[in-house]
């Protein structure tokens, strides 16, 4: 309650001192500095299913989405497939210097299109996730049980490739990365297995982005090991689903000094009533002023544009 009151008082003071709205970049920078902006910065995103299209098409879809819905942060989707190896077994992978060339082209075009007005971050699915896409979830788990060192070697190769991609993304103008971790949960791995088979490689990817101003750690799922991530990770922002996990933004604020991102229920916020959206906002404000408003994950890909336009309007009117 105290955090919410402080947030509202700071926002009111800012509004009295300034006769004009902040730019998206200024709004986000104030949240990162734990200072109240004119209104909460927000973002949302979806998959475009354009992984068979060239980078210029991906950039055009991303820029159109960002402009149409007035996003303060542009989260760039990254759905181009990780290259499969040339060996007899799926896990015979070598580090690659440029694993996602079309994505890099898209990032350069997005940089030019945004012209410095907004932060944009590159989505990176963690090495474990990429391994399951190269093979399957069952194949990765099977390799972990029967040949653990082979899996560790494979994940290291992917991590080194992704670290190289991260450096290219930052060179292309990205403000940081959005590292998606979807295996730090009971449905996938025990915590000890996560620590052994995933954490070293997730940290390797983050290390490549350590000097970026806006790195976001996305913790995916309902039964994620949140307490393992509140402290000690080299990121500015932690993003999770308060509604899936049952951990409120107020509870999270007590556990971490990180800027928190989330507060909206990604499963139903597109199409929710104005009252329901405002109720989510009221509850999430407890994380402010170090708070970025967003759904806990991507909104449904089939969300009608009219619903997303209405959601954008409600978020832009929030104070």
> Per residue in 186-237, pLDDT tens?
999 999 999 999 999 999 999 999 999 999 999 999 999 999 999 999 999 9
> What percent of the chain is modeled with pLDDT above 90?
92
In the predicted model, what is the mean pLDDT of residues 282-297? 96
The structural domain count of the chain equals 1
Structural domain span for residue 57: 2-317
CB within 8 A of 254, min separation 6: which ones? none
Q: What is the rounded distance in angstroms from the CA atom of residue 14 to the CA atom of residue 25?
A: 16
Residue 19, pLDDT score: 53
For the entire predicted model, the pTM comes to 0.92
**254-270: pLDDT as tens digits:** 999 999 999 999 999 99
Residue 71 pLDDT > 80: yes
Residue 16 has pLDDT above 50, yes or no: no
pLDDT value at 8 more than 50: no
Residue 119 has pLDDT above 90, yes or no: yes
How confident is the model over 93-98, as a mean pLDDT?
98
Angle at 119 between CA 118 and CA 120, to 5 degrees: 115
Does position 181 have pLDDT exceeding 90, yes or no? yes
Which pLDDT score, from 0 to 100, does residue 288 have?
85
For residue 238, the domain's CATH number is 3.20.20.210
């Amino acid at each position: 309650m105290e955090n919410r009151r402080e947030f509202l008082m700071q926002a009111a003071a800012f509004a009295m001192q300034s006769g004009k709205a902040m730019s998206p970049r200024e709004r986000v920078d104030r949240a990162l500095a734990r200072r109240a902006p004119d209104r909460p910065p927000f973002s949302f995103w979806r998959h475009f299913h354009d992984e068979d299209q060239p980078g210029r098409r991906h950039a055009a879809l991303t820029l159109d989405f960002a402009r149409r819905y007035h996003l303060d942060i542009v989260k760039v989707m990254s759905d181009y497939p990780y290259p499969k190896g040339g060996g007899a077994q799926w896990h015979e992978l070598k580090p690659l210097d440029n694993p996602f060339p079309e994505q890099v082209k898209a990032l350069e075009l997005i940089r030019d299109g945004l012209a410095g007005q907004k932060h944009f971050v590159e989505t990176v699915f963690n090495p474990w996730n990429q391994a399951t896409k190269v093979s399957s979830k069952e194949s990765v788990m099977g390799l972990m049980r029967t040949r653990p060192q082979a899996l560790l070697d494979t994940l290291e190769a992917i991590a080194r490739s992704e670290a190289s991609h991260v450096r290219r993304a930052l060179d292309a103008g990205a403000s940081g990365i959005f590292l998606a971790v979807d295996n730090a949960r009971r449905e996938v791995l025990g915590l000890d297995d996560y620590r052994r088979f995933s954490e070293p490689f997730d940290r390797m990817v983050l290390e490549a982005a350590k000097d970026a101003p806006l790195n976001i750690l996305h913790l995916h799922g309902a039964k994620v090991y949140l307490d393992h991530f509140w402290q000690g990770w080299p990121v500015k922002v932690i993003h999770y689903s308060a509604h899936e996990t049952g951990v409120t933004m107020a509870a999270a604020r007590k556990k971490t000094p990180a800027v928190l991102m989330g507060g909206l229920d990604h499963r139903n916020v597109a199409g929710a009533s104005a009252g329901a959206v405002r109720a989510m906002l009221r509850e999430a404000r407890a994380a402010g002023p170090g708070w970025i408003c967003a759904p806990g994950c991507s909104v449904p890909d089939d969300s009608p544009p009219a619903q997303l336009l209405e959601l954008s309007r409600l978020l832009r009117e929030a104070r």
